[in-house]
Amino acid sequence: MNIEVTAEEKRSGQMSDETVARAADAVRTEGYVVIEDVVDHDHLDVLKTRMDEDAERKIRSVRWGGAGAVQGHLQHKPPPFAPYVFGDVVANGFVGQVTHAVLGDGVYNRFYSGNTNCPGSGTQPVHPDHLPLWAGLEQAHPAYQLVVNISPENTSEKNGAVEIWPGTHLVMVEPDYSKTATERFQKEVIEARREEVPPIRGSAKKGSVLIRDIRLWHRGVPNPSDSPRHMIALIHTIRWYGKGEALKFERGCEDAFPENGPVDPNVEFVDELIDYMNNPRP
């Protein structure tokens, strides 16, 4: 589902309870929602230019990453220092309202990285970014992590928008734990689901944000354009799940993070340079 934020909501910096409830409901039932037009295009242009330059270096040195390390896909972190850290990307208040509604008080961010789908890329295996927390349940448990995806340009079939499988966050499949994370679902299970509810593209207009349950099946597919498609990723997480180290940012971008937002940004500011090109996670 796509949610349009009204002019009045934008002016006040907050979506109404009713809008938040609609978005949260979509995340719970469909496993995803797109919040339209809530990131400044100038910020996205700055990110696109720099992330293109960084991607060029990784493409030249053939450093494929992401699920299955498939050709043409990069694990690609945006620069964690000024002037590339923007509040409406790293701590978007509208997005925070939705993830807070689903995950509750104490929700925090535990990830700041991204996936870049380069021209000439291959097809990833269908996968969730994380499995359900417990095996052998009869019914799916509630969400515990939501992936927040922001692309610095329009995404569609034309530039390899991520493929997503609606409703699969609630599908009960006993994965084969002996296999690697991306091969745990058997082909027959995937094809049976395709018959029932086919996948779609997580297309989003520039300035929009895709929020998806971390259990939702998805995959990177070929990018037929001549420009890399970046997809910044944050992971908003329920307060009791695995809060480890704070996310490191270089000193000088503190102002991008609000004091009292709906989501704890979980950041630490450091003096040393961060080797984000070689260590793109988290």
**Amino acid type, 175:** P
**In the numeric block, which tokens belong to residue 103?**
């995950």
3-state secondary structure of 119: strand
Answer yes or no whether residue 67 interacts with Fe ion by CB under 5 A. yes
Kindly determine how many residues on this chain lie close enough to bind ligand AKG according to the rule CB under 6 A.
11
Interface of this chain with ligand AKG, residues 210 to 229, rule: CB under 6 A: 218, 220
What is the per-residue binding string for ligand AKG in 97-136, x denoting contact by CB under 6 A? ------------------x-x------x----x-------
Residue 220: which of 132, 116, 84 has the closest Cα? 116
Instruction: Decide whether 16 or 154 has the Cβ nearer to ligand AKG.
Output: 154
Q: How far is the CB of 199 from ligand AKG (least distance, A)?
A: 12
Distance of CA 58 to the CA centre of its chain: 21
Distance of CA 24 to the CA centre of its chain: 16
Stretch that binds ligand AKG, among 42-50, 65-73, 96-104, 238-246 (CB under 6 A): 65-73
Q: Which residues of 213-242 are buried (b: 16+ CB within 10 A; e: fewer)?
A: bbbbbbbbbbbebeebbbbbbbbbbbeeee
Among 129, 153, 213, 264, indicate the residue that binds Fe ion (CB under 5 A). 129
Instruction: Decide whether 67 or 107 has the Cβ nearer to Fe ion.
Output: 67
Instruction: Decide whether 122 or 261 has the Cβ nearer to ligand AKG.
Output: 122
Stretch that binds ligand AKG, among 22-30, 66-74, 171-179, 254-262 (CB under 6 A): 66-74
Asked if 66 contacts 124 with a C-beta cutoff of 8 angstroms, the reply is yes
Question: Crossing angle for the helix pair 93-103 and 17-29, nearest 10 degrees?
Answer: 60
What does 101 interact with, of Fe ion, ligand AKG, none (CB < 5 to 8 A by kind)?
A: none
Distance of CA 281 to the CA centre of its chain: 13
CA distances from 250 to 110, 257, 263, 274, 276 (A): 17, 13, 20, 7, 11
Q: How far is the CB of 129 from Fe ion (least distance, A)?
A: 5
Instruction: Decide whether 28 or 130 has the Cβ nearer to ligand AKG.
Output: 130
**In the numeric block, which tokens belong to residue 150?**
């922001």
What is the per-residue binding string for ligand AKG in 136-175, x denoting contact by CB under 6 A? --------------------------x-------------
Contacting residues toward Fe ion, per CB under 5 A: 67, 129
Contacting residues toward ligand AKG, per CB under 6 A: 66-67, 73, 115, 117, 124, 129, 162, 218, 220, 231
